[in-house]
Structure 1
Amino acid sequence: MHISGPTAGRRVCAAVIAASVTCSTVLTGQYLAAAGGLPTPPSVPALKLDWRPCVQRSPFDCATAKVPLDYGDPGRRTIELAVVKRKATGPGRRIGTLLFNPGGPGGPGTVQMPQNYESFPHEVRERFDIVSWDTRGIGSSTAVNCFATPGEAAAWNAGKPAGVPVGAQQRAAVIAAYQDLARRCERRDPELLRHVSTADTARDLDGLRQAVGDAQLTYLGISYGTILGATYANMFPGRVRAMVLDSDIDPQAWTNHASDADPRLPTFLRMGSDRSAAAVLNRFLTLCGSTDTAGCAFSAGSPKATRDRFDQLMRRLRAHPVGGWTYGRTVADVVSGLYIVHPGWPDLAGRLRDLWQGRVPKASPLPPLPPVPHPNPYLGEEQASAVACGESPNPRDPAAYHAMEEASAARAGDAGRFWTWAAVACASWPAVAADRYRGPWNRPTAHPVLLVGTRYDPATPYADAQALAGELADARLLTHEGYGHTALINPSSCVKAYESRYFVDGTLPPAGTACRQDEPPFPAPKPVGGVATGGGGMTGATGTVQ
């Protein structure tokens, strides 16, 4: 799962698998700048990986690594990391290992890497072993799980309104549900909750780097994985060989260091996710309305008419849900449905058409998973909360979220309501991470970092990619002129070509380079005798390449 709100997280996670507190402690002193310069990065013990086929006839190998729960006291308690690998397809040309984080926080790498393996550039698959893992607290690793049984977890989830709460009664129910979740989590394993931070995971990542035998790290991180990458690059700057960060988070917005004690806004509003999602929704409706119903099922014949139809539908659903499709559930479905352009946008248009016509939408079938050891790990909302709420400050007064929702809705419409409530679990979260990395972000790395920012991203705004490019000491921003969350699962052949060159030999794209998405979201109506045109070209400082 990429960055998502707790109320919609399961749908986003399913889409990606088939294709989220106020903190007052400071980072431990060993990572703080001191007079006379920054300290040497800490030593992380190498991990042992005993690879074996994940399941019979699987092309993927699996291993389990043991790591210290607390790197400050490594001899006390250990936890397990579930790890997966696909060997380089051209072993005679192998360069090393690419370590991949699929985002979240809370994305299970042991599922999402195999699921999205074919999305990696061909030459990267040929030249690198690709390794991913469920980060600490997540999935098939030692996981944050605040329920005694699956039935208990299902009952908790069913006991709160789906999606955005509407009205005082639903808001109270959502707040009470997350207060109950906090109490459950505090009882189950409070020690684990304090040791699932991004800094902890960066140390795990360095242990994995050593375990695969690489002197320096080759890494691809998407969405939340960009914060992990930026943290690693500044904790271990001399160990960066090549690092691609796709769909970037502004680290200042994530850490909110200056206003730690009393943040005015929750994480996702600081990031600008509400405005970004609103802009993507506007483009979705504009492009849908620019074609006919054969090209986009929800089209009303023009961009304005289609936007008006959407607004009317949202007003109608507030008063008259269609089956279980309330306004709140539909808003969450719309925002998460914008993440993956194909098949996500056409499928979303079909669901909106059905709702407009008063029909309950049919569930879209999920493609089969490749053979992996744990295709359905437990991925409760508390796992993402443990990471995000433990280290990214959020307002602690649950009653404040309604006012923030209205303010965000005034600037970003329905998307603002979604992204405000996405952080409400943090209002009552019971733990603060023992170690949080909050800067500096500009430590010179051994090699430059390549950032990829998508122009219309419903979760991580393009402005965040620009901000991260300005924060890092040596980074080049490649612009993905397209839609959806991450270029990895919304592909551009142009982006893949540049990533391949960079991973193989360190060649960066020229400054100012932009790449188009391979396939537009909706086809334009074909004129008589006309031929549809595609995308995928690149524009740079030196011109245009088709």
Structure 2
Amino acid sequence: MHISGPVAGRRRRVAVIAAVMTCSTALTTAPTGQGLVGADGTPAPSVAARQLDWKSCVQGSEFDCATAKVPLDYSNPGGRTIELAVVRRKATGPAPRIGTLFFNPGGPGGPGTVQMPQNYESFPREVRERFDIVSWDPRGVGSSTAVTCFASPEEAAEWGATKAVGFPVGGKERTAFIGAYKDLVRRCEQRDPELLRHVSTADTARDLDRLRQAVGEPQLTYQGISYGTILGATYANLFPDKVRAMVLDSNIDPQAWTNHASDADPRLTTPLRMGSDRAAAATLQQFLTLCGSATTARCAFSAGSPKATKDKFDQLMQRLRTQPVGDWTYAGTVADVVSSLYVVHPGWAELAGRLQTLWQGRVAEPSPFPPEPAVPNPKPYLGEEQGAAVLCGDSPNPRDPGVYHAMEEASAAAAGDAGRFWTWSAMGCANWPVTADRYRGPWNKPTARPVLVVGTVYDPSTPYSNAQAMAKELADARLLTHHGYGHTAQINPSSCVRAHESRYFIEGTLPPAGTTCRPDSLPFSAPKPSGGVATGGGGTAG
């Protein structure tokens, strides 16, 4: 999952978030698709899909924009409709076009109309040549009909200033933190409670099938990263005969997401059930080990050895507890550390530089935002209530705010600072007012084609064990292991992974069972000579 809400802090949004677009379109009727099914597996009324009227997003842009109208409630297709902002980059050729690849960038709450253009070059060249690539802002998010619990961004910023950055430290901050999220829920209930009940993953999967029909595809070709994997798995089990090809990269364990066995009284938050705390701790340990094994020219925070660098980090965290550097508090710095582990290049080197600056007692500059894509609305409102609406309505979390401190201490005992970070990331769910139309399984409906599951070994958000679980849960899936670092193989490149994804999307060919890939370059490694061939990207079967 991407970092959102209390875990993001105010310094950095991870995995290249920027914004969205609002393009108006006229819609013309296209043939009706097959009947939908409810989250409980029962048929729902079929609804006609409409073709999309694409227009250039802005003058000179290579991306096209459209707006789709879909029912708010698929069980009442004649009722209220909502809008979905959609973006497309047409296949570049010269090889013959195969079809449309749909992409979800994760979150929950990631705006696809921004993140797809930003990450477009990370799709394999062969895939860009032969597929139109389409993404959208899911219902409730960005430039689609969005969950907004404040009258203005300024009001949202004022609310954010009432709580600690990252997570609360001490009783006074915990009381304020819990109170802030109670206030958020009150605001959300007042503005559009009907929308809150219909921003589930199942609803978004139904929207995805409508978009598939709207672009004229008989079956779905799809890539989902992070939260996009649980969306993909939901689609695969609601519409199993419509799966042409599906890549799920950096997976969420479906059982951890649904918590089916103890739905009424979950003992852990969603991230703790997933093991995000332990995964972040393991990835941080790799960061410190590799940094300590490098020179300060390669890693500014290096203390000359892995152990000395780990000790230096612990000393810095202890110092920040009582002596913040400017507005860099202990909790805010931990939030920045974990979020900065997502993107290895250049994220890890930049993180090392910030830590060294703080070690010297100087205020560190925040990580720069990615460039804005050429879309009409590159900075939409992306308040944390948008991701919370999906997570809290869809995945069970403890309802008693009083238990979060005990969970934090238990997680910290196993995962250190990262445990505190991930425990409080679901605080918004403690008092969330509605339960959405959840899909809770089964996850093993036979699909028309097998699914390719990609898991990164050192992922600070979605552990490799979740990819293993996803591959076992699905009826027909192949696991591809990326023995690398960071959150998603898509934004932490491996030529090996990209080659296997290309063959799968284009030819339907899965990698051999047991295939392992490696990243093109390791953290803190020497830069490759100009024009050199990347090493370490080869795969091994066995």
Q: TM over 0.5: same fold?
A: yes
Distance 2:260 2:448 in 1: 26
Are 2:195 and 1:209 aligned?
no
For 1:221 and 1:532, the matched residues in 2 are separated by 28
Query: Shift of residue 32 of structure 1?
Result: 3.9
Report what 1:497 is aligned to: 499
CA contact (8 A) 2:86 2:137 kept: yes
Q: Give deviations 1:98-146, integer Å, cap 9, x for gaps.
A: 0000000000000000000000000000000000000000000000000
Could you tell me which residue of structure 1 aligns to residue 2 of structure 2? 2
Relative to structure 1, the CA distance from residue 222 to residue 96 in structure 2 (aligned partners, 3 Å threshold; closer, same or farther) is: same
Name the aligned partner's letter for residue 353 of structure 1: Q
Counterparts of 1:216-227 in structure 2 under 5 Å?
216-227=219-230
Matches within 5 A, 1:336-415: 336-415=339-418
Give the SS at the match of 1:17. coil
Q: Where in structure 2 are there 5+ consecutive unaligned residues? A: 20-35
Task: Compute the displacement of 1:2 (Å).
Answer: 2.2
* Aligned equivalent of 1:156: 159
Unaligned runs of 5+ in 1: 20-27, 34-38, 542-546
Q: Which residue of 2 aligns with 1:23?
A: none
Say yes or no: does 1:133 pair with 2:136. Answer: yes
Structure 2 residue 67 is the aligned partner of structure 1 residue 64: yes
Q: Distance in 2 between matches of 1:370 and 1:524?
A: 30
Matches within 5 A, 1:117-132: 117-132=120-135
Instruction: Show the 5 A alignment for 1:98-117.
Output: 98-117=101-120
Contact 2:45/2:75 (<8 A) preserved? no
Distance (whole Å) between structure 1 residues aligned to residue 45 and residue 458 of structure 2: 38
What is residue 310 of structure 1 aligned with on the other side? Answer: 313
Q: Provide the C-alpha distance between the structure 2 equivalents of 1:105 and 1:363, rounded to a whole number of angstroms.
A: 24
Q: Which residue of 2 is the match for residue 488 of structure 1?
A: 490
Q: Which amino acid aligns with 2:540?
A: T
* Partner SS, residue 67 of structure 1: strand
Aligned position for 1:538 = 539
**1:134-187: CA deviations, max 9, x gaps?**
000000000000001121011011121111210000111110000000000000
Q: CA deviation at 1:540?
A: 1.2
Output the CA distance in 1 between the equivalents of 2:483 and 2:247.
17
* Residue number among 451, 454, 457 corresponding to 2:456 in the alignment: 454
Partner of 2:13: 13
User: What does residue range 88-99 of structure 1 map to in structure 2 within 5 Å?
Assistant: 88-90=91-93, 93-99=96-102
Residues 65 and 206 (structure 1), Cα distance of their counterparts in 2 relative to 1, 3 Å cut: same
Number of residue equivalences: 523
- CA displacement 1:466-499 (0-9 Å, x = unmatched): 0011100000000001000000000100000000
Relative to structure 1, the CA distance from residue 91 to residue 190 in structure 2 (aligned partners, 3 Å threshold; closer, same or farther) is farther
CA distance in structure 2 between the partners assigned to 1:350 and 1:418 by the alignment: 21
Distance 1:105 1:56 in 2: 30
Q: Tell me what 1:36 maps to.
A: none
Aligned to 1:25: none
Partner of 2:439: 437
How far, CA to CA, are the matches of 1:263 and 1:362 in structure 2? 39
**Paired AA for residue 492 in structure 2:** N
Q: 2:304 aligns with which of 301, 306, 311?
A: 301
How far apart, CA to CA, are the structure 1 residues paired with 2:373 and 2:38? 42
Percent of aligned positions that are identical:
76
* Residues in 2 aligned to 1:458 and 1:30: alpha-carbon distance in whole angstroms: 33
1:362 aligned counterpart, secondary structure: coil
- For normalisation by structure 1, the TM-score amounts to 0.93
Q: RMSD of aligned C-alpha atoms?
A: 2.0
Deviation at 1:69, TM superposition (A): 0.2
| TM-score normalised by the chain length of structure 2 | 0.93
Equivalent residues of 1:100, 1:132 under 8 A apart? yes
Aligned to 2:200: 197
Q: Post-superposition shift, 1:363?
A: 2.5
How far apart are the structure 1 equivalents of 2:69 and 2:492? Answer: 34
Q: d(CA) in 1 for partners of 2:424 and 2:348?
A: 23
Matched residues in 2 for 1:327 and 1:18: separation?
A: 26
Contact 2:7 2:422 in 1 (8 A): no
Asked if structure 2 preserves the Cα contact closer than 8 Å seen for 1:289 and 1:304, the reply is: yes
Q: Give the Cα–Cα distance (whole angstroms) in 2 for the partners of residues 472 and 6 of structure 1.
A: 32
Q: Give the Cα separation in 2 of the matches to 1:297 and 1:146.
A: 42
Give the aligned partner of residue 168 of structure 1. Answer: 171
User: Of the candidates 54, 57, 60, which is equivalent to residue 54 of structure 1?
Assistant: 57
The residue number in structure 1 matching 2:27 is none
Q: Which amino acid aligns with 2:365?
A: K
CA shift in 2, pair 1:510/1:43, >3 Å: farther
Partner SS, residue 480 of structure 1:
strand
Listed one character per residue, the Cα deviations across residues 484-519 of structure 1 (whole Å, up to 9, x for unaligned) are 000000010000000000000100000000100011
Deviations 1:414-433 (A, max 9, x none): 00000100001000111110
